Structure 1
């Protein structure tokens, strides 16, 4: 009697060498988590987002999130920084494409207040409020650096207009402070709507400041 033929044994699967495995570097994984946190903050606000929310949005485990970040505040702080840097980089790029300093400032004003920028302003104020919650020196230093960079961008556009002969001003530093302060104040009023403020009116107030302080005779369309 012939013995039944045994099926050929399968060759054991070779283990994938560590060097051949697809593994995302730490910085890539951190970036994915931070990117997932941005829309959560924009929609819910900084204080209403927790580590489980971020993990679910990023499609990773809570353990993965806590492995890469020491605290929820660290995640959300990096998310806000990412959004803010990206937002102001786009503003700067648009202004640099302008043919004059006056046009660049007008484009800046238009970009600061649109129907889509409420989300940015909400994150901007959340970012500053986070600085009042006992954060470390590095976080506070980052805040100061970003605001200094923002002032430099405003001043550079005004200086460009002076150089081009469009503006006449001897206190560009003062103008820069007042422009930034008015933009922040208008943004807060727009978010609170107390009293009501439209994007068109917010732009009008900023353009009026430019005309008054820099001697521009340009009138922006409303």
Structure 2
């Protein structure tokens, strides 16, 4: 979606005041190294990730991103059409890194049942509250943005998450570790329950501990994936 103004969109009152964080000192022209476009884009997007975590998706503007990345506003708008595009790419980087770590942990398991337990353990810790807050913020932003590319990106992230769950369960069935009559249904219910528990965990209405969240998910696994 094209920005409403050449320098920024979604400007807030707080952005009109000087930034609380001191911007990085400009690098002397002789010391600058010209980076490929894809590298510069990634660096800018990576700089936006902690901003989203600290302030929320809707409260981050292009000036915030530029200051965090140590570049000019013009550099950001040269590489991205809008601040939404920056934040969307930042969220993709965060989500892919998060689920890649989960996948690596599952690969070290001795079997699919252990891999699923490790996955559940990793989904709910005190540290993952930050991830879940960013995840829901990202989905809410998609509802407010008419850009179809943004929606497709979200759908791809969720499809990859479903594939990861189904792959673990399917591997266990193929190896004879457990049986399941409906792998697709199990995958949908696991993902939906994880999302619902995460939202309850963040809202604490009613209160939910990380241990109880894990227990509910493990109960689903035990019920639907019958150990052989």
Measure how far apart 1:130 and its partner are: 1.6
| Aligned counterparts of 1:149 and 1:129: Cα–Cα separation in 2 | 19
Q: Is residue 221 of structure 2 the alignment partner of residue 205 of structure 1?
A: no
Measure how far apart 1:165 and its partner are: 2.5
Measure how far apart 1:209 and its partner are: 0.5
Q: Is the 8 A contact 1:210 1:216 kept in 2?
A: no
Alpha-carbon RMSD across the aligned residues, in angstroms, is 1.7
Deviations for 1:23-58, whole angstroms, at most 9, x for unmatched residues?
A: 111111111111110001011110111111111111
TM-score for the superposition, normalised by structure 2: 0.83
Select the residue among 25, 38, 42 that pairs with 2:49: 38
Instruction: Give matches, 1:19-98, under 5 Å.
Output: 22-98=33-109
Stretch of structure 1 that moved more, 28-37 or 127-136: 127-136
| Aligned counterparts of 1:122 and 1:22: Cα–Cα separation in 2 | 36
Higher CA-based Rg: 1
Deviations for 1:3-32, whole angstroms, at most 9, x for unmatched residues?
A: xxxxxxxxxxxxx9xxxx831111111111
Q: Which runs of 5+ in 1 are unaligned?
A: 1-15, 218-222
Measure how far apart 1:87 and its partner are: 0.7
| Aligned counterparts of 1:89 and 1:27: Cα–Cα separation in 2 | 21
Q: Which runs of 5+ in 2 are unaligned?
A: 1-29
Q: What's 2:177 paired with?
A: 166
The alignment of Structure 1 onto Structure 2 pairs a total of residues equal to 199
Relative contact order higher in (CA < 8 Å, ≥ 6 apart): 2
Deviations for 1:133-181, whole angstroms, at most 9, x for unmatched residues?
A: 2332222112111111111110111112222333221111111000000
TM-score for the superposition, normalised by structure 1: 0.85
Q: Is residue 140 of structure 2 the alignment partner of residue 140 of structure 1?
A: no
Q: What's 2:13 paired with?
A: none
| Aligned counterparts of 1:33 and 1:156: Cα–Cα separation in 2 | 33
